[in-house]
Amino acid sequence: MKAVVWHGIGDIRLDEVAQPTIQDPHDAIIHITRSAICGTDLHFVRGTMAPMREGTILGHEAVGVVVEVGDAVRGFSPGDRVVVNSTMSCGACRYCRMGKTSQCDVANPNGPQAGTSFFGGPETTGPIDGLQAEYARIPWAQNSMHPLPDNVSDEQAILLSDIFPTGWFGAELAGVTRGDVVVVFGAGIVGQFAAASAFKQGAGRVIIVDGEESRLAAALAQNCEIVDYNREDPVQTIMDLTNGIGADCVIDAVGVDAERPKRGPAAVSDEDAAKFDAEVAQIAPDADPDATQWKPGDGPSQAARWAVEVVAKYGRIGIIGVYSPTVEQYPIGEAMNKNLTIRAGNCDHHSVTPPLIDLVASGQFDPTALITEHEHIGDAIAAYEAFDRREPGWIKVELV
């Protein structure tokens, strides 16, 4: 079968690989009908989240049909249409029973303290072969997939694999309540769904910050107030928009590949530029900061720093943008002195997703408008490259 395989930083290939088989009674095998490329995948190819193991199949978003189940999988049978959670969970441990499934004690083969296990990730997450492939093995299948109703299409369901639940989870981490002024950093697909989720959770206003015009235009289309950090200083602008108080909640939907402003009033000083260069060198020592393709973000802590600056005293920050364990730069002193609440982490997909499937099935929310590209798996590498370059209009790529 065909699959997108990680060979090295800046080196991914569409390879012919062996079809997966059941290895454990808790496994299922699915035939994938839709997969997708996520901003998280870019970190692995840019070298900002390491170490990856050569030969790992990438991808952690999929919709498919069950073809085989192991003896311990009781709730699914061949022929079921399912959406796969990006993160795996056992369903029986202490964390799974609290719905905190991203910190399952059992699913990560590296042990209970190793953190989240997800498909197609670095060594520390398994590694478990990913979902940008024709077939996949789903470990802990009973608690890592959801059945899909007939009235939810594959195209709607692919965004239920990771993006919609992560955006929803981000708004929950930031503690969005009725009337709040919410700032979202990052207008990629995760930021778009964080914004939509914040509105649904009661936000009065959502202000979204990015430097890409086509992504800001998509945010404006869902009635967010938009701030382009290459035209305005986002900190000053958000203070002006909030009567000098700042935001009640901030959601960081950027992560470690954050960019620094390139022009405009927020363009960084030489001193800050040197600070950011040092961060890149420390976080991604094997990446090529001067490459034109697979270039790591040149301001790793930029979104995190702005988040602390624009939030009100006693404000709340939810971090869903991914930072690898090697990232150590955070304005902890400023956060402490503003009495902030900061919550962070990987989405608890298995417990967050079910009501979102219902929202889509009932027609209250159609996520498909934000899938801008529909590519065949055979064109996956070119699609990765265009998405990495943030080609105008490319917000989300589904792989058919």
Ligand X SMILES: NC(=O)c1ccc[n+]([C@@H]2O[C@H](COP(=O)([O-])OP(=O)(O)OC[C@H]3O[C@@H](n4cnc5c(N)ncnc54)[C@H](O)[C@@H]3O)[C@@H](O)[C@H]2O)c1
Catalog residues that contact Zn ion under the rule CB under 5 A.
Answer: 38, 40, 89-90, 93, 96, 104, 106, 162
Contact partner at residue 161 from Zn ion, ligand X, none, CB < 5 to 8 Å by partner kind: none
Stretches 51-59, 253-261, 308-316, 363-371: which one binds ligand X (CB under 6 A)?
Answer: 253-261
DSSP summary character for residue 172 = H
- Paired tokens of 37: 């490329």
Binding range to ligand X, per CB under 6 A, among 71-79, 199-207, 262-270, 316-324: 316-324
Smallest separation, CB 297 to ligand X (Å) = 6
The answer to the question of residue 348 lying near ligand X (CB under 6 A) is no
Q: Tell whether residue 45 is a contact of ligand X (CB under 6 A).
A: no
User: Rounded distance, CA 133 to CA 82, Å?
Assistant: 16
Instruction: Pick the binder of ligand X from 64, 188, 300, 367 (CB under 6 A).
Output: 188
Rounded to the nearest whole angstrom, what is the least distance from the CB of residue 150 to ligand X in the complex? Answer: 27
Nearer to ligand X among residue 38 and residue 73 (C-beta): 38
Number of residues that bind ligand X (CB under 6 A): 34
Q: Which partner from the list Zn ion, ligand X, none does 258 bind, CB cut-off 5 to 8 Å by kind?
A: ligand X
Q: Output b/e per residue, 71-86; b: 16+ Cβ within 10 A.
A: eebeebeeebbbbbbb
Residues with Cβ within 8 Å of residue 81, at least 6 apart in sequence: 63, 64, 65, 147, 148, 150
Q: Which does residue 90 touch among Zn ion, ligand X, none (CB within 5 to 8 A, set by kind)?
A: Zn ion
Which DSSP state fits 275?
A: H
* Cβ–Cβ < 8 Å for 375, 383: yes
Q: Cβ(1)–Cβ(134) under 8 Å?
A: yes
- Which partner from the list Zn ion, ligand X, none does 259 bind, CB cut-off 5 to 8 Å by kind? ligand X
**212 near ligand X, rule: CB under 6 A:** yes
Footprint of ligand X on 70-129 (CB under 6 A): none
Cβ at position 132, least distance to Zn ion in Å: 11
Which range, of 210-218, 235-243, 274-282, 307-315, touches ligand X by CB under 6 A?
210-218
User: Which runs of consecutive H residues, i.e. helices, occur in 287-399?
Assistant: 302-310, 332-337, 349-361, 380-388
| CA separation for the pair 115, 322 (Å, rounded) | 13
Q: Is 346 in the site for ligand X (CB under 6 A)?
A: yes
317 makes contact with ligand X (CB under 6 A):
no
| Spatial CB neighbours of 50, under 8 Å, sequence gap ≥ 6 | 44, 122, 284, 286, 324, 326
